[in-house]
């Protein structure tokens, strides 16, 4: 399949590498000559490193790079069978792009967006033929992160969903199907990993180092929430949180934190700026965690319960099925276990009890228990039962 990619940033470059690696011809467009050059340099560096390590031969590296063509005009997409945009998260800009694309590509060409936060159905509405439109949300870096969220718009033809899914599977990646709702699967369900950690920090119950220690040492997560937010960038993470919050009509469950907003406004963005929740400057001394086991267990159980509650609600509202939810969280954000499987292990009744205790304490709708969890407790059911 000849694949077109618009946007030569890290995401577009990664998708190009993945597609070309699996034999697809790739056309990549970016209106910035500097971005194109960075993309070329990045691809050559990655492919040469793979050859040096013996993962591919020198001939393979040349062949993969040879299947990628950098272009300056959108007319170069005329014979593509699939075009994916990976540009700025601006709805107006994306819609204008797809309107222009439709004047160039064939009637059978699939148009896809890599958006992580915008409505796929809204973007599809810009097209004269919205049935060909679909969301394909890759995770960074696309070559290594196997998960891809497949998000049909309300207008998407079923055959387009099937073809897109087959394309992803053919490259050895794992497609999960998500309803077109804010955050899809991963960015919706993962919000409490950051949001509840920030709430605990804001209340002074523990500092960032202690919360991170609890989630990694006790919970088994690869990164604590504050280390991860510093890695992502506090400006990026805050924007995603704010977008999801507003997209859910300001549901308090997704309410952003003033602390993160202030860090973003101050330019304390994390690793990329040298300061965030931690200080990354030379010679900086960061605080040691309080390794009180009882406190750590409380932090871990509180955040995990909120994550499970969010996953259960996603299932309750048919955002995705059970297996796709657990697959998405294991492979999209590298959680130690699928959250619904984890719920079974600690007990559905325990999850309900934990949520009710938070509700009793705070009297906030933020801590409402998913009706699915409550019903399952009443009926003595589990997610992975008979």
Residue 190 and residue 159 share a domain: no
Report residues of the chain scoring pLDDT below 50: none
* Residue where one domain finishes, among candidates 132, 147, 177: 177
- Does residue 242 carry a catalytic annotation? no
Residue 220 and residue 125 share a domain: no
Q: What letter would DSSP give residue 55?
A: S
370: domain CATH number? 1.10.1040.50
Structural domain harbouring 58 = 3-177
Distance between CA 129 and CA 99 in Å, rounded?
A: 10
Single out the catalytic residue among 116, 119, 354, 370: 116
Q: What is the pLDDT of residue 376?
A: 97
Residue 213 and residue 102 share a domain: no
Residue 113 and residue 216 share a domain: no
- Does residue 34 carry a catalytic annotation? no
Name the strand (E) or helix (H) holding 111. Answer: strand 110-113
Q: What is the pLDDT of residue 175?
A: 98
Q: Name the one residue in this structure whose structure tokens are 């159980």.
A: 301
Residue 253 and residue 282 share a domain: yes
Q: What is the pLDDT of residue 386?
A: 62
Q: What is the pLDDT of residue 325?
A: 98
Q: Residue 134 pairs with which residues in a beta bridge? A: 112, 152
> The pTM is what?
0.95
Residue 172 and residue 206 share a domain: no
Residue 64 and residue 42 share a domain: yes
Residue 75 and residue 93 share a domain: yes
* Residue where one domain finishes, among candidates 146, 177, 208: 177
* Residue where one domain finishes, among candidates 177, 212, 231: 177
Distance between CA 245 and CA 236 in Å, rounded?
A: 14
The string of DSSP letters for 312-368 reads: HHHHHTTSS-HHHHHHHHHHHS--SS-HHHHHHHH-HHHHHHHHHHHHHHH--GGGP
Structural domains in the chain (count): 2
Single out the catalytic residue among 137, 173, 234, 309: 137
- Does residue 187 carry a catalytic annotation? yes
Residue 258 and residue 222 share a domain: yes
- Does residue 137 carry a catalytic annotation? yes
Residue 206 and residue 111 share a domain: no
Q: What is the pLDDT of residue 97?
A: 97
Q: Model confidence over 52-101: pLDDT tens digits? A: 999 999 999 999 999 999 998 999 999 999 999 999 999 999 999 999 99
Region of residue 163 (left: phi > 0; alpha: psi -120 to 50; beta: else)? alpha
Q: What is the pLDDT of residue 169?
A: 98
Residue 210 and residue 129 share a domain: no
96: domain CATH number? 3.40.50.720
Residue 210 and residue 85 share a domain: no
Q: Model confidence over 283-333: pLDDT tens digits? A: 999 999 999 999 999 999 999 999 999 999 999 999 999 999 999 999 999
Q: Nearest CA to 289 among 194, 214, 193, 199?
A: 214
């Amino acid at each position: 399949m000849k694949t077109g990619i618009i946007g030569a940033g890290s995401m577009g470059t990664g998708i190009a590498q993945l597609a070309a690696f699996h034999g697809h011809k790739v056309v990549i467009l970016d209106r910035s000559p500097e971005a194109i050059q960075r993309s070329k340099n990045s691809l050559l560096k990655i492919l040469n490193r793979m050859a040096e390590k013996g993962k591919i031969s020198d001939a393979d590296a040349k062949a993969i790079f040879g299947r990628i063509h950098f272009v300056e005009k959108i007319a170069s997409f005329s014979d593509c069978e699939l075009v994916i945009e990976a540009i700025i998260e601006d709805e107006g800009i994306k819609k204008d792009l797809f309107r222009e694309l439709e004047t160039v590509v064939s009637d059978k060409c699939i148009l896809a967006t890599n958006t992580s936060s915008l409505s796929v159905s809204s973007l599809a509405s810009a097209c004269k033929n919205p049935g060909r439109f679909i969301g394909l949300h890759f995770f960074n870096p696309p070559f290594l992160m196997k998960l891809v969220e497949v998000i049909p718009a309300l207008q998407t033809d079923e055959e387009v969903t099937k073809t897109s899914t087959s394309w992803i599977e053919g490259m050895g990646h794992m497609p999960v199907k998500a309803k077109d709702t804010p955050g899809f699967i991963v960015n919706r369900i993962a919000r409490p990993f950051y949001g509840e950690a920030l709430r605990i920090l804001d209340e002074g119950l523990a500092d960032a180092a202690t919360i991170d220690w609890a989630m990694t040492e006790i919970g088994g997560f690869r990164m604590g929430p504050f280390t991860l937010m510093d890695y992502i960038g506090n400006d990026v993470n805050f924007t995603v949180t704010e977008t999801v919050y507003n997209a859910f009509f300001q549901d308090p469950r997704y309410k952003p934190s003033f602390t993160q907003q202030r860090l973003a406004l101050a330019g304390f963005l994390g690793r990329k700026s040298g300061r965030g929740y931690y200080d990354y400057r030379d010679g900086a001394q960061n605080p040691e965690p309080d390794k009180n086991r009882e406190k750590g267990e409380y932090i871990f159980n509180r955040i995990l319960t909120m994550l499970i509650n969010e996953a259960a609600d996603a299932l309750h509202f048919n955002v995705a099925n059970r297996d796709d939810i657990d697959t998405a969280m294991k492979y999209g954000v590298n959680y130690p276990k699928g959250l619904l499987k984890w719920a079974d292990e600690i007990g559905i009744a325990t999850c309900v009890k934990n949520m009710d205790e938070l509700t009793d304490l705070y009297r906030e709708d933020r801590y409402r228990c998913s009706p699915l969890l409550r019903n399952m407790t009443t009926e003595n059911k589990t997610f992975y039962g008979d």
